């Protein structure tokens, strides 16, 4: 299999995934503000709905990993696209908590197929010398769906309503079906009979793999679970439901959607660039540690009041840092997984991310019921980023203090990996 063919597969999967993310991304901007119009009775239900799809993925992920050993990659993605289209259209007709829970659960199953299949494909189809670059490109391209979903949702839902936009986004998601059916070269299974979502008793995670799992948990908790899910609410708490910007009166939902859309706009370029930097001679660790320290320094600042343009600058810094830490964490995870057991490790890594992303909205909207909730939420996030940086500094220093023979062998392995 050539590197070109492998890259074509990765790009195709990332674009199909992006189309299916439109509806899910829209909810993070719309539900915190238009929860009454969605048929909900209290804002705490928003936290549950933004979390429950991740909780569904916890038992589903190992099953999906096993299924990918029995079916082709294309079949798994076809199933994911169908589920994504149905759930997105369903958002437009949901009028009770029970219906919303069902739809979010279905989306959780769809995302398990997208995430495990896509990330495993990147590991298997990318050459070691450019793995970081392709990880960044894969993440960046599918997050164009986040860009359109958040920006389009924030702009169009106040005008046309949730029902119309959900149907439109659902139809767009289903465009992945003819794309998949027309690209016949995605027919193989991932690792065929070597996939098993359970690790044997003789296999164990070494310290770095355990640290990757811990990092995956906290980074998704802080970025996807807290920052993204509370951002529109944070804007509204700081500046009101509507406010003036350059003489225009705009809504908090539009502003938050537009600001977060900046991140999804630069992701395909910055993510690929960050991955390329980490593929270089110095490896990923110095850049990864610096990114975690930077996030720890700025994450809590947005919980304080500043003039809008200054506050927006800090928010953009957090989003830039998010691109760094997510790309590098995925790249380190991809390096650590072995070809003959990539899916088992990546399944557990994905489960850790899902737990973090699921806990984030629940913790967030629970704390937001208390006075100064945003302060405690984001200050705790800064502390968590700094603790993660200390964890990886420990790994980096431990590696540099090993005996010369062991260090030479390890550097040789890392050179081949990074």
**Length of the chain in residues, anyone?**
418
**Which tokens is 97 given?**
């908590």
Please give the average per-residue pLDDT across 285-309, as a whole number: 92
Percent of the chain scoring above 90 in pLDDT: 28
Model confidence at 216: pLDDT above 70: yes
Across the chain, what does the average pLDDT equal? Answer: 81
Question: Which superfamily, per CATH, for 3-185+205-417?
Answer: MFS general substrate transporter like domains (1.20.1250.20)
pLDDT band at 326 (very low <50, low <70, confident <90, very high): very high
Helix (H, G, I), strand (E, B) or coil at 192: helix
> What gap in Å lies between CA 146 and CA 158, rounded to an integer?
18
Helix (H, G, I), strand (E, B) or coil at 399: helix
Q: Give the angle 370-240-253 at the CA atoms, nearest 5°.
A: 100
Model confidence at 297: pLDDT above 50: yes
Report how far Cα 87 is from the mean position of its chain's Cα atoms.
19
Task: Note the pLDDT of residue 305.
Answer: 85
**Which tokens is 307 given?**
């003039």
Q: Is the dihedral of CA 332, 333, 339, 341 positive or negative?
A: positive
Per residue in 122-146, pLDDT (tens digit) is 877 777 677 788 888 888 888 888 7
Per residue in 72-87, pLDDT (tens digit) is 888 888 999 999 999 9
Other C-beta atoms closer than 10 Å to the C-beta of 390 total 12
pLDDT band at 223 (very low <50, low <70, confident <90, very high): very high
Model confidence at 172: pLDDT above 80: yes
Per-residue exposure over 285-319, b if at least 16 CB sit within 10 Å of its own CB, e if not = bebbbebbbbbbebbbbbbeeeeeeebbebbbbbb
**Which tokens is 317 given?**
């810094």
For 296-361, give the DSSP string.
Answer: HHHGGGGGS---HHHHHHHHHHHHHHHHHHHHHHHHHHHHHS-GGGHHHHHHHHHHHHHHHHHHHH
Percent of the chain scoring above 70 in pLDDT: 86
pLDDT band at 368 (very low <50, low <70, confident <90, very high): confident
Task: Note the pLDDT of residue 198.
Answer: 43
Range with top average pLDDT, 37-46, 183-192, 239-248, 398-407: 37-46
Q: Is residue 107 within a helix (H) or strand (E), and if so which, with residue range?
A: helix 97-125
pLDDT band at 384 (very low <50, low <70, confident <90, very high): very high
Per residue in 275-293, pLDDT (tens digit) is 888 887 778 889 999 999 9
Strands 248-251 and 242-245: antiparallel
3-state secondary structure 142-183: HCHHHHHHHHHHHHHHHHHCHHHHHHHHHHHHCCHHHHHHHC
Task: Note the pLDDT of residue 400.
Answer: 62
**Which tokens is 382 given?**
């800064």
pLDDT band at 342 (very low <50, low <70, confident <90, very high): low
Query: What is the Cβ-side half-sphere exposure of residue 393, based on CA atoms within 13 angstroms?
Result: 11
Q: Which residue has the tokens 């009166």?
A: 249
pLDDT band at 382 (very low <50, low <70, confident <90, very high): very high
Per residue in 246-283, pLDDT (tens digit) is 777 777 777 887 787 787 778 888 988 998 888 877 78
Task: Note the pLDDT of residue 404.
Answer: 45
Contact (CB, 8 A) for 157 and 26: yes
Other C-beta atoms closer than 10 Å to the C-beta of 27 total 27
> What gap in Å lies between CA 255 and CA 167, rounded to an integer?
23
Contact (CB, 8 A) for 340 and 196: no
Domain ranges, ordered by start, for the chain: 3-185+205-417
Please give the average per-residue pLDDT across 332-342, as a whole number: 70
Least confidently predicted of 123-132, 192-201, 331-340:
192-201
pLDDT band at 195 (very low <50, low <70, confident <90, very high): very low
Residues 6+ apart with CB under 8 A from 285: 392, 395, 396
> What gap in Å lies between CA 51 and CA 393, rounded to an integer?
31
Task: Note the pLDDT of residue 399.
Answer: 67
């Amino acid at each position: 299999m050539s590197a070109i063919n492998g890259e074509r597969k990765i790009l195709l999967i990332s674009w199909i995934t992006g189309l299916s993310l439109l509806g899910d991304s829209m909810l993070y901007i719309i539900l915190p503000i238009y929860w009454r119009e969605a048929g909900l009775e209290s804002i705490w239900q928003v936290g549950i709905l933004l979390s429950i799809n991740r909780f569904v993925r916890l038992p589903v992920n190992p099953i999906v990993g096993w299924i990918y050993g029995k079916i082709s990659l294309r079949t798994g993605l076809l199933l994911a696209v169908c589920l994504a289209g149905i759930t997105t259209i369903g958002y437009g007709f949901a009028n009770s908590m029970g219906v919303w829970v069902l739809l979010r659960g279905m989306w959780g199953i769809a995302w398990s197929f997208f995430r495990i299949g896509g990330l495993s494909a990147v590991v298997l189809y990318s050459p070691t010398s450019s793995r970081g670059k392709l990880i960044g490109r894969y993440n960046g391209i599918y997050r164009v769906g986040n860009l359109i979903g958040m920006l389009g949702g924030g702009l169009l839902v106040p005008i046309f309503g949730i029902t119309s936009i959900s149907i439109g986004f659902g139809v767009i998601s289903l465009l992945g079906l003819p794309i998949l059916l027309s690209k016949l070269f995605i027919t193989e299974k991932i690792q065929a009979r070597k996939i098993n979502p359970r690790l044997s008793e003789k296999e164990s995670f070494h310290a770095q793999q355990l640290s990757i799992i811990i990092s995956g948990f906290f980074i998704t908790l802080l970025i996807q679970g807290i920052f993204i899910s509370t951002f529109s609410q944070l804007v509204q708490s700081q500046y009101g439901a509507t406010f003036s910007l350059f003489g225009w009166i705009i809504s908090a939902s539009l502003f938050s959607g537009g600001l977060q859309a900046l991140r999804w706009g630069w992701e395909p370029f910055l993510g690929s660039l960050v991955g390329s930097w980490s593929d270089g001679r110095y490896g990923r660790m110095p850049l990864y540690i610096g990114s975690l320290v930077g996030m720890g320094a700025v994450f809590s600042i947005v919980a304080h009041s500043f003039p809008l343009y200054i506050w927006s600058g800090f928010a953009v810094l957090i989003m830039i840092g998010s691109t760094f830490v997510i790309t590098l964490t995925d790249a380190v995870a991809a390096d650590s997984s072995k070809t003959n057991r990539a899916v088992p490790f990546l399944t557990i890594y994905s489960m850790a991310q899902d737990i973090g992303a699921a806990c984030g909205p629940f913790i967030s909207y629970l704390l937001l019921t208390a006075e100064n909730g945003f302060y405690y939420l984001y200050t705790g996030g800064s502390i968590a980023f700094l603790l993660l940086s200390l964890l990886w500094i420990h790994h980096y220093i431990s590696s540099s203090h090993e005996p010369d023979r062991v260090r030479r062998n390890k550097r040789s392995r890392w050179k081949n990996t990074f």
